Structure 1
Amino acid sequence: MLNVGLTGGIACGKSTVGRMLEEKGAFLIDFDRLAHEVEEPDQPAWRNIVDCFGPEVLRADRTLDRARLGAIVFADRRKLDKLNELVHPAVFDAWQSRMAAIRANRPDAIVIADIPLLVELGMQGRVDLVMLVYIPRDEQIRRLILRNGYSREEALQRVRSQMPIEDKIPFADILVDNSGTMEQTRTFIDDIWPRLLEKERRKRKPA
């Protein structure tokens, strides 16, 4: 099994690249989706968040009001770090469980773990390869404004809350330039997929 960590910055197109790899036959584990699962009402991470940030971050149905929580944490780096500290252990446990289930059924699998904060959390050693989806910072801001309806200041706030995308490049084993067209990105994925298959084969059956 080959464990690939897919990362990038906000609005860089990690999800798009992940879906392309999934279409090729990879197993995709989305850390944002895992976070939503462990933050369901009465789950340990949910209780930790409510204890820390108060019931005002809940909707009437007791689910997290992510817009309100986001407004709180993206305005204060310490609060964002605290939120990550509360959620990440449960997400990592869920990731390991998914990996074990895949390995049991498909020992030859290529697993793509979409991990937004892979580099920030120093998780390079937990994956076999780091795949970085890259677009320039100005393009991140433009896409956030178009996609999310943010003001420029709101988009800047979210981009600044993360490690600069350029600083992540040295950690990448594979760099996916996603600043062009969808067709260009798909062509790149078509080209690297055989390389991933070969790396998995060599890892599983070393010479």
Structure 2
Amino acid sequence: MILGITGNIASGKSAVARMFAAHGAALVDADHLAREIVAPGHPVLQQLVKRFGSEVLCENGELDRERLGQIIFADKLAREDLNRITHPAIAKLAIERLRQLKTTPGIPLVVYEAPLLFEAGAEGRVDQVLVVKIDPAVQLQRLMARDGFAETAARQRIAAQMPQEEKLAGADYVIDNSESLAALQLRVDELWELLVSAENSR
């Protein structure tokens, strides 16, 4: 079974995915795939430079993710262009990795961590969807603390994303990460037991 994990910025998706991996799940991270496809020399990086200019490159030829982030979070059309350029390549890699892992014996669960699961129309790559939700005030504080954003910049990043309520509407499972890490661990442990038991009884 493939479980898609998604949620908005600073919701704790990666923490949840790591907890599942610690239980023995195989993990495919869409953000890692996105880094692979923008490596120097990759055609996707060349397309990004063509669209956004050489200002999105570091001196060593690598993608300047911080600069690109500033551009796309301030401009909806730029964000759409970024997704149009990158999503097909990420999808191709994700489908290959997920298919390979799903047919590998001894893997109880495959987790696909994808912040833009719904936005990319990638729900069909997974069997079930877990949305990690978070109280908006907690989200804002965590984002500011984690990334060093001023409040205005943090609010801009949050506002640029699909509303949390829309993601929750597409969820098979929801974990609330508004409390402590220990509370989150308990919720992940409970869901792990539920999913593995269901998979074993099939």
Where on the TM-score scale, by shorter chain, does this alignment land: which range?
A: over 0.9
Greater mean deviation of Cα atoms: 168-177 or 191-200:
191-200
Partner of residue 4, structure 1 = 3
Tell me if the contact between 1:135 and 1:177 (Cα under 8 Å) persists in the aligned partners: yes
Q: How does 1:192-203 map to 2 (within 5 A)?
A: 192-202=191-201
Question: By how many angstroms is 1:136 displaced?
Answer: 1.6
Change (3 A) 1:172 1:104: closer
C-alpha distance in structure 1 between counterparts of 2:13 and 2:165, whole Å: 15
Question: By how many angstroms is 1:134 displaced?
Answer: 0.6
Partner of residue 169, structure 1 = 168
Tell me if the contact between 2:25 and 2:107 (Cα under 8 Å) persists in the aligned partners: no
C-alpha distance in structure 1 between counterparts of 2:59 and 2:115, whole Å: 29
Partner of residue 141, structure 2 = 142
C-alpha distance in structure 2 between counterparts of 1:99 and 1:126, whole Å: 8
C-alpha distance in structure 2 between counterparts of 1:135 and 1:173, whole Å: 16
C-alpha distance in structure 2 between counterparts of 1:155 and 1:23, whole Å: 30
Greater mean deviation of Cα atoms: 142-151 or 165-174:
165-174
Question: By how many angstroms is 1:121 displaced?
Answer: 2.5
Tell me if the contact between 1:137 and 1:165 (Cα under 8 Å) persists in the aligned partners: no
Partner of residue 26, structure 2 = 27
Question: By how many angstroms is 1:170 displaced?
Answer: 1.4
SS at match of 2:14: helix
1:104-151 CA-to-partner distances (Å, cap 9, x unmatched) read: 432754111001011223322321110000102222111111111101
Partner of residue 126, structure 1 = 125
Tell me if the contact between 1:103 and 1:109 (Cα under 8 Å) persists in the aligned partners: no
C-alpha distance in structure 2 between counterparts of 1:166 and 1:179, whole Å: 15
Greater mean deviation of Cα atoms: 105-114 or 8-17:
105-114
Partner of residue 157, structure 1 = 156
What fraction of aligned residue pairs are identical, expressed as a percent?
A: 39
Task: Provide the aligned length of Structure 1 versus Structure 2.
Answer: 202
Q: Are 1:89 and 2:109 matched, yes or no?
A: no
Partner of residue 55, structure 1 = 54
Greater mean deviation of Cα atoms: 190-199 or 97-106:
97-106
Unaligned runs of 5+ residues in structure 1 are none
C-alpha distance in structure 1 between counterparts of 2:144 and 2:85, whole Å: 29
Tell me if the contact between 1:29 and 1:95 (Cα under 8 Å) persists in the aligned partners: yes
Tell me if the contact between 1:108 and 1:200 (Cα under 8 Å) persists in the aligned partners: no
Tell me if the contact between 1:39 and 1:46 (Cα under 8 Å) persists in the aligned partners: yes
C-alpha distance in structure 1 between counterparts of 2:110 and 2:20, whole Å: 9
Give the letter for the 1:26 counterpart.
A
Unaligned runs of 5+ residues in structure 2 are none
Give the letter for the 1:180 counterpart.
E
Q: TM-score, structure 2 length as denominator?
A: 0.95
C-alpha distance in structure 2 between counterparts of 1:136 and 1:85, whole Å: 30
Q: Are 1:183 and 2:182 matched, yes or no?
A: yes
